[in-house]
């Protein structure tokens, strides 16, 4: 797998302790980050070499269409194969865990956003999506009892994995002011004291 410049940063970043963060009360943290790989087997082996284990996979037409690498019982790294030449390699999206996804959806509607109704997807959890002002896909999920994630609780937790928690995710922003307003004002994913942090980056708390 060819590593993109911000690939490991997205998964393993730890920012300065001076950045004070405050998330929406309806958000529990990061549920997963997703990447598209040119070689799914090599990408999976990369994470297995870091001590992580595959928890789940989906297949379509006899081929693997999605792999779930487990960080802990509530956090995963999702890997997707490249199936078309037009598909970009690397970071695809981030997904946040909601403690009550309907309350979160209503809270977002009160800020002027228009999130769709949450639906149950094939893993058995509720999910809705949004796009930020620059078009970045964001997912929100609520884990449900009897979902595939719930069934895997306590399993596939590699003893040698280099980290037991997905701490944060980071991505560049073209229009920092607009993105800051979206993430701190409308979605309340993050908030920090700008005097303590570099103004060229923002942090999505895990």
Which residues partner with 205 through β-bridges? 168
Q: Does a structural domain hold residue 198?
A: yes
- Report if residue 126 sits inside a domain: yes
Average pLDDT (193-202) is 40
Domain count, the chain: 1
Domain containing residue 176: CATH number: 3.10.180.10
16 in a structural domain:
no
- Assess if residue 181 is contained within a domain: yes
Distance of alpha carbon 155 from its chain centroid, rounded? 20
pLDDT in tens, 83-134: 999 999 999 999 999 999 999 999 999 999 999 999 999 999 999 999 999 9
CA-based torsion, 187, 191, 194, 199: positive or negative: negative
Q: Which residue has the higher pLDDT, 189 or 193?
A: 189
- Rounded to the nearest integer, the mean pLDDT of the chain is 83
Q: Is residue 195 part of a domain?
A: yes
Q: Quote the pLDDT of residue 168.
A: 82
Q: Model confidence over 133-155: pLDDT tens digits?
A: 999 999 999 999 999 999 999 99
144 assigned to some structural domain: yes
Range of the domain at 37: 7-11+21-205
Structural domain includes residue 1: no
For the whole model, what pTM was predicted? Answer: 0.82
Of residues 199 and 31, more confidence is placed in 31
């Amino acid at each position: 797998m060819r590593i993109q410049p911000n690939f490991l940063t997205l998964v393993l970043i730890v920012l300065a302790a001076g950045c004070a963060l405050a998330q929406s009360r309806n958000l529990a943290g990061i549920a997963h980050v997703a990447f598209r790989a040119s070689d799914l087997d090599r990408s999976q082996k990369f994470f297995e070499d870091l001590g992580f284990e595959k928890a789940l996979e989906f297949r379509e037409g006899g081929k693997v269409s999605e792999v779930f690498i487990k960080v802990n019982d509530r956090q995963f790294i999702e890997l997707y194969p490249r199936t078309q030449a037009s598909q970009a390699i690397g970071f695809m999206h981030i997904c946040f865990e909601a403690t009550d996804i309907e309350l979160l959806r209503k809270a977002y509607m009160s800020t002027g956003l228009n999130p769709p109704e949450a639906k149950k997807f094939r893993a058995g959890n509720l999910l809705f999506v949004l796009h930020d002002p620059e078009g970045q896909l964001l997912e929100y999920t609520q884990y449900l009892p009897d979902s595939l994630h719930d069934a895997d609780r306590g399993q596939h937790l590699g003893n040698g994995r280099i980290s037991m928690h997905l701490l944060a995710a980071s991505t560049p922003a073209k229009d920092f002011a607009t993105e800051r307003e979206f993430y701190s004002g409308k979605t309340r994913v993050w908030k920090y004291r700008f005097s303590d942090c570099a103004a060229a980056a923002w942090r999505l708390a895990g």
